[in-house]
Structure 1
Amino acid sequence: MKILAFDTSMSSPGVVILEVKRNKPTILAVSHVKTDARQPHGLRAEIVEAWATVFIARHGTDYDVIIREDFQGRSSRQNHPVFSAWGAIDQALNKFGLNFTHPTISQSKVKRLVVGKGKAEKDEVEAAVRRLTGYIGEFATDDESDAVAVALAWAIDNGLIKR
């Protein structure tokens, strides 16, 4: 089972390919991109799309699950950048005939399933990700470990692995 999961934002989205074999999750690839907040949203969205396109081109299109974390901002000012990044990743996936295969998963559900509580700090999420995967490599940003947490949450919720 191969899971492609995104932690989507305009400033620094993250992505992971997580493979689950015999109830054991393994990180195959992880990445992120940083955009410059001084640039217009349109340009930043194009940068996110280009990054996602290159990641998919480099790692192939054979995924059983493609998922992303949900986002619910309080205002259009919060929502616009994130949903622009969502659209950019949608466009990258569509270039390869791919689309999200499952509904989004909420931030609190990701934390509850992976960490064991609905409110968790970034370091707690990373520690849980490392414990579940045995990953000893570097996460360049929290967005990378958050993307892994999204994939793990889906796998836990669907009975592929146990927390």
Structure 2
Amino acid sequence: MTAAKPIRCLAFDTSMTCPGVAIIEVRKGKPTIKALSHVKPNTSRSHAHRAEVIEGWAMLFLDKHVGTAGFDYVVREDFAGKTSRSNYPVLSAWNACERATSRFGLTFAKYKKPGKDTEYLGISATRVKSLVAGSGNAVKDEVEAGVRRITGYAGTFANDDESDAAAIGLAWLIDAGVIEKPKGAG
């Protein structure tokens, strides 16, 4: 008798200042954090330069972790800025991560809100906070605590971007019905 194949989720918390990434693996309904990373591009450089740094970081991370198992879900947080000043940096970082993942044959999953037909490019920050920390208004420490509660992770997060990436992956897995929603989560 062979053990069931684990479900693997690759999740990006994408930004131009410090994107994070997490790999969540689920075995028998229990999620664990398998890998974390982030990069801090030099903010004095142009957006184009920083996007290339992000793409290179993402490619190195993927080269180390894709292996033969691949990923069942490749996900990110949605973003809807109101101006080009806020949109351009985030969408540049999105594009950098998408270029890196595409080189490994990976495609970001589209997100559908429960009961809706519209597809989004990612899961909303409010939904992530609600599912992982129990409140759509949760602050960074509450999100990290929710990630630890759900996964049992006792290691160090180098920064909020790593715990946020893990939260994005966990929220996606909860929303997809792969893992159970924690008590008190929305």
Q: TM-score, normalised by structure 1?
A: 0.97
Paired position in structure 1 for 2:12? 6
Paired position in structure 1 for 2:56? 50
Matching of residue 16 in structure 1 with residue 22 in structure 2: yes
Paired position in structure 2 for 1:152? 170
Paired position in structure 1 for 2:87? 79
Matching of residue 118 in structure 1 with residue 136 in structure 2: yes
Which one of the candidate residues 79, 82, 93 is aligned to 2:101?
A: 93
Q: Give the residue type in structure 1 aligned to 2:8.
A: K
Paired position in structure 1 for 2:161? 143
Q: Report the number of matched residues.
A: 163
Q: Which ranges of 4 or more aligned residues in structure 1 deviate by more than 3 Å?
A: none
C-alpha contact 1:14 1:146 (8 A) present in aligned 2 = yes
Which structure 1 residue ranges, 5 or more long, are not aligned? none
RMSD: 0.9
Identity %: 55
Structure 1 residue 6: Cα displacement = 0.4
What SS does the corresponding residue of 1:16 show, helix, strand or coil?
strand
Quick one: distance in 1 between partners of 2:66 and 2:132?
A: 27
Quick one: distance in 1 between partners of 2:59 and 2:71?
A: 15
Which structure 2 residue ranges, 5 or more long, are not aligned? 1-6, 112-121
Quick one: distance in 2 between partners of 1:128 and 1:68?
A: 18
Computing the radius of gyration from Cα coordinates, the structure with the larger value is 2
What SS does the corresponding residue of 1:48 show, helix, strand or coil?
helix
Q: TM-score, normalised by structure 2?
A: 0.86
Which one of the candidate residues 20, 26, 32 is aligned to 2:38?
A: 32
Quick one: distance in 1 between partners of 2:80 and 2:160?
A: 19
Q: Which has the higher contact order (CA 8 A, sep 6+)?
A: 1
